[in-house]
Amino acid sequence: MKSIETPLLLITAFILILFISSVSAETVSKGTLCGYVNNTGKGFLCNNYNPKTGCPVGFTKVSISSFGGKYMHYHCKSNSISSTAPLGTMCGLANYNNYNGWSSPILCNGYYPNTSCPYGYISSSVQFTYSSTSDRQYSCIKNTAGAPIVSGMLCGRAIYNIQNGWSTSILCKGYDPRTTCPPGYYRKSIIHHGGVDTNYFCVFNINTCSNECISSGVKQCSGDYSQTCGNFDNDACLEWGKNNYCRYGCANVDCNSCIPATCESLKKKCGSWSDGCGKEIECNIPCSFNQRCNSSTGLCILNEYPDYSSNIIITEHRYDPVAMFGGWGQHLGHLVKTSDDELWFIDDTENNVSINPAIVYYKFENNEWVYIKESPTIGNVQQNLGSISVDNMIYSYGNDINNSKLEECSFDSKTYLGECKYLDFTINRSTNYIGAAVTKLGKKIVWWTQVIPGAGKFNYVYNLGNGWKMITGNVPGYNDAGYVTIDFEDESNFVMNAELLTGTPPKWNYFSAFGNGVLGNPINKWTIAPAFNGINAASPNDIWINPINKDIHAFSYTSSGTTYYYKKKNDSSYKPLYFFPHAYRLRVIDANNYLYVFYGDYDTGLKIIKIPKNDITNEIIFDNYETMIINLPPEYKSIVGIYPEKQCFQTANVTEVNLALVSNEKQNEVLHINVD
């Protein structure tokens, strides 16, 4: 009997060892990730389950956002301390961006996931595309039942976005990858979207095992849970488990009877604050590189631009509370400099949108604005006038709707003499949205649109120094082309950014569009600005032609107050490349070897980006430059009008950075800003 019994016991023991080994090889920690799909549900499955719609038993469907909440990442995560590792379990990660190349990878048992994987795992990828930018993420995915656990398996996930901060975290064994990982795991980050997002994971290290706690039965607080020390998994080490949820939070290993405040409930992102229960809490969401923590509010705020000055120009700025707000017609020239380096502001008068009875002139002298003169217009000028300066003369152009005439008002900045007269052209009563500009050598152009449903006209007159000539053009398929901004490529060629309109009130549709022109030729073709993330640009903000390589850089805003940035090179098409959130108004100024970008919206103040022009050889990567805020008076929190001194409005060189602002809070006031 003994000779038979001994082998039987050995065989039984061997089978038991195999069983234990098999169980060990098939278990994963709570929070381990399985499967991975993108917004469209494409990627790889978790045990034949698509994580966007469902997960196998023992796993929970989770999602995490990136790129400011626009894009989602879906996983199945283990929802118990120890559960079966299904097919699709993730190991290692590598990210490739078509602009920035490979990021530093997370290896899977020493293998690069984009090239090869250990036994029982296969390289798979998920594609993310954002306009012209795309990322592909590679991971080694378990594809063989019984494949062993290896170093590099991913547990938990958190994403930090440079504009929107942290996403909601997927925890790993109760630990938040934003800050720490459990014993046996190390914290690893990997960039996404060219550095816009940074992913954080807890990565399993099979060769490491150490006690998380000192003695079985000891308790601690972990967030809103009271935890007990013990051995709750398949290794030989102690860890925290038996999580007891505390309704009012946890302090000193026990559940609170007091309800402690949190950073979220206090609406704080940074700094130290009382939780109301006798303890201090640290709010540690990092501010981005161009922000600092406001110790009074606990919020991240933009760094302040250090060198600027401000002066009130006028407190009787023209606006109609019912029909015309104070930021109306920001495409028009108002702030111009004459050839003797004197800065002027030319404004309209009265508050009736249909009657503009006079022009008022203000001059900047001895660091303050001085009223000089008010000159009456002739006829009945509608809405606003557009002003330009040629040498020491200031010209303003308006539309006399009663007499169907184009009106020119001239003003000598030396003698303060001037007059208004009609140009020898008849314009239609349905004329609107006048604008004016001048080349560096003094060639003048004045344009307007004739509003005709579905068959609008776009006309202009120009003067090369030998008299005015008129050019007529069409806006086929659209009612009109209004609010035009312009920049000149040279003394003859120019590009316009306009708002095209279809429909009838109140169901109007707006489209930003670009038109190339040559002085003396009609503009009959308009190119609609491409949509960005499925949303159309509605109206122009500004346009700038790089004088070095002639690339066109355009800025157009949407109905939601976001501004899109477009670039066009030579005969290529316009490409949407970036968007500015909270940028209802945006203007650019080319001065002193820099391109200055100013933008603002309701409740966000005025922001500035200063970009060396030598850097602009292709598209502008705005995230490479610091966005700062200009600390304006509190009544200038909501910017509704930006009127810059620009080269297209004057023959004098732009040697300073000047702009005039109108706020929603004080629409009858204009504030002058000078930036160093």
One domain for residues 492 and 359: yes
Long-range contacts (CB closer than 8 Å, 24 or more residues apart) made by 545-552 = 545/487, 545/488, 545/489, 545/495, 546/613, 546/616, 547/590, 548/613, 548/616, 549/617, 550/489, 551/616, 551/618, 552/487, 552/495, 552/514
| Contact call for residues 667 and 640 (beta carbons, < 8 A) | yes
Q: Tell me whether residue 233 is in a domain.
A: no
Q: CA separation (Å) from 550 to 555, 646, 666?
A: 16, 17, 39
Q: How far apart, in whole angstroms, are the C-alpha atoms of residue 29 and residue 601?
A: 47
For the chain, how long is the longest CA-to-CA vector? 129
Residues 6+ apart with CB under 8 A from 664: 325, 326, 327, 602, 638, 639, 640
Q: Tell me whether residue 564 is in a domain.
A: yes
389: buried, middle or exposed (CB in 10 Å: 19+, 13-18, 0-12)?
Answer: buried
| Contact call for residues 486 and 464 (beta carbons, < 8 A) | no
Residues 6+ apart with CB under 8 A from 87: 45, 46, 47, 48, 141, 142, 143, 144, 145
One domain for residues 458 and 433: yes
User: What are the tokens at 13?
Assistant: 């023991």
Q: Tell me whether residue 627 is in a domain.
A: yes
3-state secondary structure of 192: strand
One domain for residues 535 and 557: yes
One domain for residues 438 and 550: yes
One domain for residues 444 and 539: yes
CB-CB neighbours of 495 under 10 Å: 20
Q: Tell me whether residue 640 is in a domain.
A: yes
Q: How far apart, in whole angstroms, are the C-alpha atoms of residue 522 and residue 665?
A: 41
One domain for residues 296 and 332: no
To the nearest 10°, report the CA torsion of 617, 620, 622, 626: 30
| Contact call for residues 116 and 110 (beta carbons, < 8 A) | no
Residue span of the structural domain in which 280 resides: 270-302
Residues 6+ apart with CB under 8 A from 365: none
One domain for residues 315 and 172: no
Residue whose pair of structure tokens reads 């038109």 in the numeric block: 515
Instruction: Determine the residue type at 277.
Output: C
User: What are the tokens at 365?
Assistant: 């002298």
Q: How far apart, in whole angstroms, are the C-alpha atoms of residue 316 and residue 669?
A: 6
**C-alpha neighbours within 13 Å on the C-beta side of residue 524:** 6
580: buried, middle or exposed (CB in 10 Å: 19+, 13-18, 0-12)?
Answer: buried
Q: Tell me whether residue 245 is in a domain.
A: no
User: What are the tokens at 276?
Assistant: 């109301």
Q: What is the CATH number of the domain that holds 600?
A: 2.120.10.10
Q: Tell me whether residue 168 is in a domain.
A: yes
Q: Tell me whether residue 124 is in a domain.
A: yes
Q: How far apart, in whole angstroms, are the C-alpha atoms of residue 512 and residue 483?
A: 10
One domain for residues 378 and 330: yes
3-state secondary structure of 212: coil
Q: Give the pLDDT of residue 2.
A: 36
| Number of domains composing the chain | 3
pLDDT in tens, 472-508: 999 999 999 999 999 999 999 999 999 999 998 888 9
Low-confidence residues in the chain, pLDDT < 70: 1-27, 81-84, 130-132, 208-209, 233-237, 289-290
Last residue of a domain, one of 208, 223, 251: 208
Last residue of a domain, one of 190, 208, 226: 208
Residue whose pair of structure tokens reads 């009127």 in the numeric block: 643
One domain for residues 283 and 378: no
Instruction: Determine the residue type at 133.
Output: T
CB-CB neighbours of 315 under 10 Å: 9
Q: Measured between alpha carbons, how far apart are the two ends of the chain, in Å?
A: 101
| Contact call for residues 202 and 172 (beta carbons, < 8 A) | yes
CB-CB neighbours of 516 under 10 Å: 16
State residue 609 phi and psi, 5-degree precision.
Answer: -125, 125
2: buried, middle or exposed (CB in 10 Å: 19+, 13-18, 0-12)?
Answer: exposed
| Contact call for residues 423 and 461 (beta carbons, < 8 A) | yes
One domain for residues 133 and 189: yes
Q: CA separation (Å) from 485 to 436, 554, 672?
A: 9, 10, 21
User: What are the tokens at 661?
Assistant: 């602002």
| Contact call for residues 122 and 114 (beta carbons, < 8 A) | no
DSSP state of 263: H
One domain for residues 592 and 619: yes
User: What are the tokens at 8?
Assistant: 């039987």
pLDDT in tens, 294-325: 878 888 877 777 788 999 999 999 888 877 78
One domain for residues 296 and 367: no
Q: Tell me whether residue 213 is in a domain.
A: no
Last residue of a domain, one of 302, 319, 346: 302
DSSP state of 411: E
